[in-house]
Structure 1
Amino acid sequence: MAAPEARPARGLGSPLAVVLAIGGLYVGQSIIGGVTFSALPSVLRDRGLPLAQIGLTYLAVLPWVLKFLWAPAIERYRLPPTGPSRSRSIVLIGGLISAACFILAAAIGPTRFVPLMAILIVVAFAASTVDIACDGHAVESLSERYHGWGNAAQVGGAYLGSAIGSGLFLVLVARVDWAKAMIVMAVLLVMLGLPFILSPAITPVDGRSHRPSLRDALRRTGMRKGLALAALYAVSQKWGLAMLGPFLVDSGLDLDSLGIVNGAGGMIVGFGCALLGGALVRLWGARAIMVLALVLQAIALSGLAAAAWIGGASQWVLLGLALASSSAIMALGFVALYAQFMGLSDPRQAGIDFTLLQCMDALVSMIGGIGAGWIAQHFGYGACFGLAAFLVVLAIAPVAMLSHRSKLHVRSEVSSEPRQPLPQQS
């Protein structure tokens, strides 16, 4: 049965306005990730905490791993059978919780590890819930011709936010103090969420008949392949970078310099390579760019392993390898991966579909972060980076196979069923 012709929804706004609104949220979410997973390990190492304990900071990934459990409830609340979507209320509540927790973290300080981790896990729960609404809103608000803009907002916003969270934050900690740095981050979170909160809500003309569910997503072959792809890509691109910050600190780089490098790397190198990745995906396709990024990452991680084993490498060499692996190559590859994610998501329940793919990524990242801390503690940084490079090489062929025409398969599965008219750009 052919899908009925869709009628325009009210409240979509211009594509540029949608991209700017969701881009602000992606920047804010990445500030949280930058503070938690990049800046905090460096601060803790600077305060003398052991690597095995620093690896436990990746427990804050747990809400991102498990958010698929509450994604159906959030998506059904966000998309009522009739009336406007409730994305803005979800974003408002989640943003206020995150900002309040950052202020609380400012008060307790960085060395009280257990209460600090409890606060950051609450922040991660709020941010991951906001992410469900943001991803769903992006897919349903942007027609396919504007998906590239959405990918640019996701990846570019992620690197800009990470530059702030891991770069500016470290500079503020080094030059001012922890408390003021956390308060500045809290204020930024509120400001970045305002464009989305003030944007109009989407109201479909014909209502919504589809009931979002995990079962609907998991029964699709393309989605199951996408989950395997997300897991492999997280192994290959993220496991080797979990101990990069502590490695640079132990190599003699102070927090002030590291913050400047992280900020410049994320804002200039990462954002620039995200734009380059978007252009290359249009020219060569997502599959080719993902494979290229894996090859480059294997080379960069091998260089870090050699530097750790041999010792005595100049700080410029270490910084170059760090920028290449954590900013340039990651940005290039994740633009292609997110293009796959957007194509895999059914617009009727995009919050659930995108969430499933991100949860797999987060689960594998958490395992790798904890494991990397243990390996670095007991066998050294060289073994940590060397093993990661080996895993990247092993992942190249399976990633190429799983990403082959996965978007076409998913579209045919979804479009073969009767479906409710979806919002389109007017």
Structure 2
Amino acid sequence: MSTAADHSSSEPVSYKGWAGIKRAFGTPSALTMMLLGFGSGLPFLLIASSTLSTRLRDVGLDLGSIGLISLASFFYLLKFAWAPLIDRYAFPLTAFLGRRRSWLLAAQVVVAISLAALAFVQPQLGVSELVVWVLVASLAGATQDSAVDAYRIEIAPPSAQAALAATYTLGYRIGLIVAGAGALYLAEFGDWTQAYLVMAALMALPIAATLLSREPVAPVMTVARKVDFFGAFWQPFTSFFSANGLALGLGLLLFVGLFKFPDQVIGVMAGPFYLDSGYTKADIATVSKLYGVWTGIAGAFAGGLAVAAFGFRRTLFLAAIMVALSNLAFLLMAQNPSEIWAFYAAITADNLSQGFAGTVLVAFMSSLTDRNFTATQYALLVSLANLPGKFVGGASGYIVEATSYSTFFLLSALTVVPTLLLLAWLWGRIREASQPQDVAGAHAP
């Protein structure tokens, strides 16, 4: 379906602006990236976010327990820990497919099995079995994400990452639509067992994409010493700080960790909030999981265009502001429960900002990676982008119960302040994608 040469970094191809995005869609790798993105997006809501929390609330679990159970998906936050193995070796049982596709196929199969197992779990009778399968599914889902991200980065130069981020996001968001709206519709008119079994079956699409696509060409190793087993773990980190220096390297990592904190911290409580506000599962499916995801896709393409037109600095600033302000839109729902117009208004603001900020952040993080250690460095950055909000999100149920939903949304919006202060410090140190890159493709001061 695609070749690594589709977007060779040696080809004098421009990927700027709308024409660049259309060009990315026109390559054979675009369909592969869309299907792989679909495979990454499909399990996330079912095991780590609002669909799972909605299911748990629907069967009577309290908010505190729902928040704690969400921590079982923590492998999504720690995928950098085993990403060096993905960079260095092929997965043994499927090694005949090559380094990237061997990990992809193994992870996708385990995700499908885990979703099928979760279909038959009854959390109202006890959550132990559910937690075990969420752990297995999140380990496989995180591994799949690392392999997909490395694949995407290795088939395109840094200047193309905004366009391919939008392409990948299309598939990812369609996966969210299916796992969000699709699963909720199935649960509303059938049951949760049926919903999860259908989701497991749909993993056949990314599995087919993996089997039919071609393995990316491995990048030429540019580091001075050969990367052995132990070097695969420590050289990605030393490479990052060698390229940026200690102070800037730490500043970039902290910025990535804080960038989407206002959005991440409210994710677990979204599903319960919708139900507690008087909306049915069908309402949630239509507004949040269907309309909202397509709104997010529009935001993603707007983010890709903005990066191409204005560069990273201004779009990072705009995206951070949008994410924070969108949290305040949920106050409309809190003050106007059961009003469908308030639901649409809040979801419009939230998903436009999430889509915009997501593409900007993906392009920015991709530009920071050394292609000798693509999976490891990008996995570290993605984990940092989710880690702070995820852990606070684990306690979010208790925060809501101690205060109110309105207070919770207001406090979450104010958490953008440290991000903006750090961006002010980084402003002159961030190098745009069109500027010359060093070996690591990092942003030197």
TM range (shorter): 0.7 to 0.9
Residues 56-88 of structure 1: CA deviation (Å, up to 9, x unaligned): 2321331122221111122110499xx984111
Distance 1:348 1:49 in 2: 46
Distance 1:57 1:402 in 2: 36
Aligned to 2:177, which of 156, 159, 163?
Answer: 163
Q: How does 1:241-390 map to 2 (within 5 A)?
A: 241-305=267-331, 307-308=333-334, 310=335, 312=337, 314-325=339-350, 327-390=351-414
Name whichever of 115-124 and 219-228 sits farther off: 219-228
User: In the alignment, is the contact (CA less than 8 A) between 1:296 and 1:329 conserved in 2?
Assistant: yes
Name whichever of 195-204 and 91-100 sits farther off: 195-204
Name whichever of 335-344 and 109-118 sits farther off: 109-118
Match of 1:421 in 2: none
**1:23 aligns to 2:34 (yes or no):** yes
Distance 2:357 2:217 in 1: 35
Distance 2:221 2:316 in 1: 38
- Partner AA of 2:349 in structure 1: A
1:307–1:96 distance in 2 versus 1, CA, 3 Å: closer
Q: How does 1:15-414 map to 2 (within 5 A)?
A: 15=7, 16-36=27-47, 37-78=49-90, 85-111=98-124, 112-203=126-217, 211=227, 212=232, 213-219=235-241, 220-221=243-244, 223-305=249-331, 307-308=333-334, 310=335, 312=337, 314-325=339-350, 327-402=351-426, 404-407=428-431, 412-414=437-439
Match of 1:424 in 2: none
- Partner AA of 2:236 in structure 1: L
For residue 296 of structure 1, report the CA deviation from its aligned partner: 2.8
- Partner AA of 1:243 in structure 2: M
User: In the alignment, is the contact (CA less than 8 A) between 2:101 and 2:210 conserved in 1?
Assistant: yes
Match of 2:18 in 1: none
The DSSP-based 3-state class of the residue aligned with 2:216 is coil
For residue 205 of structure 1, report the CA deviation from its aligned partner: 9.3
RMSD: 2.9
Distance 1:128 1:17 in 2: 25
1:126–1:241 distance in 2 versus 1, CA, 3 Å: closer
For residue 216 of structure 1, report the CA deviation from its aligned partner: 2.9
Residues 124-178 of structure 1: CA deviation (Å, up to 9, x unaligned): 1011112222211211222334323321133333322212211111111111111
Name whichever of 217-226 and 231-240 sits farther off: 217-226
User: In the alignment, is the contact (CA less than 8 A) between 1:85 and 1:201 conserved in 2?
Assistant: yes
Task: Tell me: higher relative CO, structure 1 or 2? Use CA pairs within 8 A at least 6 residues apart.
Answer: 1
For residue 367 of structure 1, report the CA deviation from its aligned partner: 1.0
1:146–1:301 distance in 2 versus 1, CA, 3 Å: closer
The DSSP-based 3-state class of the residue aligned with 1:243 is helix
**1:14 aligns to 2:6 (yes or no):** yes
User: In the alignment, is the contact (CA less than 8 A) between 1:240 and 1:389 conserved in 2?
Assistant: no
Residues 93-144 of structure 1: CA deviation (Å, up to 9, x unaligned): 1111110111111122343422112101111101111222221121122233
Name whichever of 240-249 and 87-96 sits farther off: 240-249
TM-score with structure 1 setting the length = 0.86
User: In the alignment, is the contact (CA less than 8 A) between 1:273 and 1:328 conserved in 2?
Assistant: yes
Residues 193-230 of structure 1: CA deviation (Å, up to 9, x unaligned): 31122212234597787524333344243543332121
For residue 412 of structure 1, report the CA deviation from its aligned partner: 4.8
1:85–1:207 distance in 2 versus 1, CA, 3 Å: farther
Distance 1:340 1:55 in 2: 30
Distance 2:220 2:315 in 1: 39
Distance 1:336 1:403 in 2: 15
Structure 2 runs not aligned, ≥5 long: 8-26
User: In the alignment, is the contact (CA less than 8 A) between 1:151 and 1:335 conserved in 2?
Assistant: yes
For residue 416 of structure 1, report the CA deviation from its aligned partner: 9.8
User: In the alignment, is the contact (CA less than 8 A) between 2:329 and 2:345 conserved in 1?
Assistant: no
1:416–1:289 distance in 2 versus 1, CA, 3 Å: closer
Aligned residues: 404
1:416–1:41 distance in 2 versus 1, CA, 3 Å: closer
Identity %: 25
- Partner AA of 2:204 in structure 1: V
Structure 1 runs not aligned, ≥5 long: 1-9, 418-426
